[in-house]
Amino acid sequence: MAGVEQRILLPTLIAAWGAYVLGEREDYGGYSEQLIGAFAAKPPYPEFLNDDEFHALMRYVATLLLKRMSMEASLKHEGESAPPYRWFYWLGCFGVVFPFLSMSGSSGGI
């Protein structure tokens, strides 16, 4: 299990990432673009989070991504920095970090 430092830092990191995802803080861009990718490279479960914490993180991240996607008027965009490029990347990483995700409503899903 994670030490006290990780338990204090992780919510702050996730909140900063969430602010960037929702377009509330652009100054977190460089960091935020790497956070979910880092989780994909080294998932936080089971080394850092227990079952309940991991499921809470999964629900929070899924909710943020769905909220962000619902903010788009269309998929039409220009350039690689357009929001759909970002959330397609985040969605792909999400599938790696939370591989047991089931959108069908069966156990284990959101």
The confidence band for 107, taking pLDDT boundaries of 50, 70 and 90, is: very low
| pLDDT at res. 74 | 66
The pLDDT of residue 105: 47
Q: What is the pLDDT of residues 26-54, one digit of tens each?
A: 787 777 677 777 877 887 888 888 889 88
The answer to whether the beta carbons of residues 64 and 18 sit under 8 Å apart is yes
Within 8 A by CB and 6+ apart from 84, the residues are: 72, 75, 77
pLDDT (tens digit per residue) in 52-72: 988 888 888 889 888 888 887
Is the pTM above the cut of 0.75?
Answer: no
The domains of the chain are located at: 4-97
7-19 average pLDDT score: 84
pLDDT band, very low/low/confident/very high, at 106 (cuts 50, 70, 90) = very low
